[in-house]
Amino acid sequence: MKLHVNGRDYDIAVEARRTLADALRKDCGLTGTHIGCEHGVCGACTVIMDGAAVRACLIFAVQAEGAVIRTVEGLAAGGLHVIQQEFVAHHGLQCGFCTPGFLMLAVAAREAEPDLTDAEILDVLSANLCRCTGYQNIVKAVSASARRMRET
């Protein structure tokens, strides 16, 4: 089968039961997609598939064939993505385990709706779990990204 990830095609052979998260990590070598709960609860494995944020642990790799997939590795083409820069500027991370999932969720949300209010950002981000930050700085980072993303 073929996965189209971050603008590149990966020809891989996987069992029908292999998740997209496992295929990305083990077969494509893209380890930025983290595996947390493996039940779709934590959001650490969030990637963007055909423009929507999805939990890669809940999708079989074979279901993603033909889809356009972006992982955290694909954000920094030509330098850090605006949201990555804002995460740094606003200290929106601590241990970093949940960060790739939050970045992908935030990018998908911002691309779908550039003018999210802080309340809407908080609602979107509540889909992912972080045990370190308390979320305030993550919300600040995503909020600060709005103006800069409109300019690019």
- Is the pLDDT at 146 greater than 90, yes or no? no
Q: How many domains does the chain have?
A: 2
pLDDT tens by residue, 37-56: 999 999 999 999 999 999 99
Task: Specify the CATH number for the domain of residue 28.
Answer: 3.10.20.30
Q: What is the pTM of this model?
A: 0.95
- Of 68-72, 100-104, 131-135, where does mean pLDDT reach its minimum? 131-135
pLDDT at 77: 81
The shares of helix, strand and coil residues in the chain, as percent rounded to the nearest 5, are 40, 15, 45
Question: Does 123 lie in the same domain as 95?
Answer: yes
pLDDT tens by residue, 117-140: 989 999 999 999 998 888 899 999
pLDDT at 106: 96
Cα angle 130-5-38, degrees, rounded to a multiple of 5: 35
Q: Where is the domain boundary, 30, 51, 73?
A: 73
Question: Does 64 lie in the same domain as 86?
Answer: no
Neighbours of 50 (CB within 10 A): 11
- Of 10-14, 43-47, 93-97, where does mean pLDDT reach its minimum? 93-97
Structure tokens given for 33: 């997609």
Sign, CA torsion 122/85/45/65: positive
Question: Does 92 lie in the same domain as 68?
Answer: no
**Alpha-helix residue ranges (DSSP H) falling in the chain:** 20-22, 82-89, 99-112, 118-125, 136-151
Cβ contact 114:146 at 8 Å? yes
Question: Does 65 lie in the same domain as 12?
Answer: yes
Q: Where is the domain boundary, 46, 73, 100?
A: 73
What confidence category does residue 21 fall into, taking pLDDT thresholds of 50, 70 and 90?
Answer: very high
pLDDT at 152: 64
Domain that holds residue 44: 2-73
In degrees and rounded to multiples of 5, residue 143 shows phi and psi of -65, -45
